[in-house]
Structure 1
Amino acid sequence: MNTRLGVLLPTNHSQWNDARRLVDFGVRAERLGYDSVWVNDTLLGARVEPLAMLAALSPMTERVTLGTAALLPAFRRPIMAAQELASIDHLSGGRLVVTVGAGFPGRSEVEYALSEVPWERRFGRLDDTVALWRALWAGERAFHGKTLRFDELPESTPSYRPGGPPIWLGGGSESALGRTGRLYDGWMPYPPDPADYRAGLQTVRRTAREAGRSAGAITPALFLTVLVTDDAERGGRELDAYCRTTYGLPYERVRKIQAMVAGSAEQVVATLTRYAEAGTEHVVCRIAAPDLDTQLDQLEMIAGIVRP
């Protein structure tokens, strides 16, 4: 299987007692052969801020892609965020990938309120923010979008790479599929059925062609929650505990929304293979383990079965 393999750092405060060990986690992932290391973003629950985490990892790693899965730009002032991302792109030597999202209905409304940003028109604001970032990185001095307008922009930190780091979109709604095809460099959803992934990717690629873009310009990725265990009953209990801690929802409900697998090495590989056959080229594994030591054990097991 030639799919690129990534891992999500366990930045939630409940999973570590020394944040500096998260840097060691990222370095260990690189040494084990992972292709990428990712961080997520939320205002609900104590955690290491994602851009700070990537900045810390940049000089300590050499090869892996460093990414967000996903960053919610609404939580940050857009011009400052452009500078922060360009800085990480430089610090990492051009290894940054920025997956963005607009939030999770029923959960993110309070985060928008805390950020003093309206929940309404969030998709248009997200697309405008990304377009503004690209304009700033290119040295443009004005921007006029549908929701964001600036007649005078300051000189901003240019990106390490011309055009800026690749920006992917997280989400599998019809709207997200169309916007990915027209505007973004990659797609990272988490559909629980590989058939839905295949159909979504076809829509993304068709929309890209209709917009005059190459379908191959969009990287197809997947966000997958993983737990390797030979005890299926125990695995189900641990996934349930993880879902309740992370979302306040039972596993049986979350598994209908998100791609998740808890099982033997063979079952995990079979799941990865089905998504690879559906078209994904980059899988980001979120390990469903409660603490950093167990996460490290799983990190090695997953590497052993996918990168033997």
Structure 2
Amino acid sequence: MDIGVFLPTGQAQWTPAGDPRELIGFARRAEELGFSSIFVNDSLLTPRIEPLTMLSAVASVTERITLGTGALLPVLRRPVLAAQTLASIDLLSGGRLAVAVGAGFPGRFGQPLHELSQVPWERRFARLDETVDLWRALWRGDTEFHGEFHSFDAIPPMTTPFRPGGPPIWLGGATPAALARTGRRYDGWLPYPPTPQGYADGLAGVRDAAQGAGRDPGAVTPALFVNVRIDRDVEAARQTVDAYALANYGLPLAEVEKIQAFALGTPEEVAATLGRYAAAGARHLVVRLGALDLPSQREQLERLAAVREQLLQPVG
């Protein structure tokens, strides 16, 4: 099993007294502790460090850890320039990039992003899939591309990623349509279903779609985006994460936990919850730490490292 962490790139996690440049040291410490990956979020609605800029900074000070996006919003960027940026990060990191992508959510967490970026909200999923197809064509060295939204007759030589064909691309989302699209065309799946059973059911849908498309179902990386707070007990953890949810979403924990995965409580309780998701098929856990300042984030990172060791102990 791989276990990684999200960098707390949102301003709510490092202000008022924090310095965002400390995030680079945070990433280094995650690698020292043996975590498999460092992921970053993407948004224009809350102040945060731009994700590809953050990964570029982290690439130069780490050696082994996977660098991931969770989830990047490709249709908000010019696709050819984004392909060049991603290829450059993959090249400079020695092939350590993993790109999880998404198309945003209806309502106040999605449509305003498209308005700010001057990109139509309609048919965003088709636009996302085509953008990913274009990236892969550019990374292969194709000289032309013709789709519904993008068409190029003569593509000049592009930056070549470290890995032939470019970095793996995962999809976030757990709707029936997202499961089918993941199985048919993506390299991994990064959802956050609120129950292990929901994860197991979704993974079965992904694998069925992969098999139906003539792909190896085992070639799709089963990942999980999960919120974690390790504390003296569940109630103390819930109090802190409730404040975290309000700062990030303007919603209480009781609402957010209806749609997202959470593991809260003592180290033993957190390990047990994560273990249930592992039993449901998750093989790459990406943990968002529930803390509202950098010192607390660092403390949670150290606590998670101990839980990680417990999870990785051989059974029996």
TM-score (norm 2): 0.95
Q: Distance in 1 between matches of 2:30 and 2:2?
A: 13
Aligned residues: 306
Unpaired segments of 5 or more residues in structure 1? none
Task: Tell me which amino acid in the other structure corresponds to 2:10.
Answer: N
User: Do the aligned residues in 1 keep the contact of 2:194 with 2:261 (CA within 8 Å)?
Assistant: yes
Please, which of 240, 243, 248 is the counterpart of residue 242 of structure 2? 240
Corresponding residue for 1:101? Answer: 102
- 1:176 alignment partner, SS class: helix
Q: Does 1:166 align with 2:168?
A: yes
Corresponding residue for 1:122? Answer: 124
User: Do the aligned residues in 1 keep the contact of 2:263 with 2:274 (CA within 8 Å)?
Assistant: no
Q: Which region of structure 1 is more displaced relative to structure 2, 44-53 or 80-89?
A: 44-53
Q: Give 1:217-296 correspondences, 5 Å limit.
A: 217-296=219-298
Task: Tell me which amino acid in the other structure corresponds to 2:209.
Answer: T
Task: Tell me which amino acid in the other structure corresponds to 2:177.
Answer: S
Q: Does 1:68 align with 2:69?
A: yes
Q: Distance in 1 between matches of 2:130 and 2:154?
A: 16
Q: Give 1:160-239 correspondences, 5 Å limit.
A: 160-239=162-241
Identity across matched positions, percent: 56
Give the superposition deviation at 1:265. 0.6
User: Do the aligned residues in 2 keep the contact of 1:227 with 1:262 (CA within 8 Å)?
Assistant: yes
Q: Distance in 2 between matches of 1:60 and 1:290?
A: 25
Task: Tell me which amino acid in the other structure corresponds to 2:167.
Answer: P
User: Do the aligned residues in 2 keep the contact of 1:125 with 1:148 (CA within 8 Å)?
Assistant: no
Give the superposition deviation at 1:20. 1.5
Corresponding residue for 2:86? Answer: 85
Corresponding residue for 1:15? Answer: 13
TM-score (norm 1): 0.97
User: Do the aligned residues in 2 keep the contact of 1:41 with 1:70 (CA within 8 Å)?
Assistant: yes
1:139-165 per-residue CA deviation (whole Å, 9 max, x = no partner) reads 112111233222232321111100110
Unpaired segments of 5 or more residues in structure 2? 311-316
1:253-290 per-residue CA deviation (whole Å, 9 max, x = no partner) reads 11010001220111100011100000000000000100
Please, which of 278, 300, 306 is the counterpart of residue 298 of structure 1? 300
1:212-267 per-residue CA deviation (whole Å, 9 max, x = no partner) reads 10011100000000000113222222111111111111111110100012201111
Corresponding residue for 1:150? Answer: 152
User: Do the aligned residues in 2 keep the contact of 1:99 with 1:168 (CA within 8 Å)?
Assistant: yes
Give the superposition deviation at 1:193. 0.8
Give the superposition deviation at 1:133. 0.3
Corresponding residue for 2:314? Answer: none
Task: Tell me which amino acid in the other structure corresponds to 2:123.
Answer: R
User: Do the aligned residues in 2 keep the contact of 1:33 with 1:307 (CA within 8 Å)?
Assistant: no
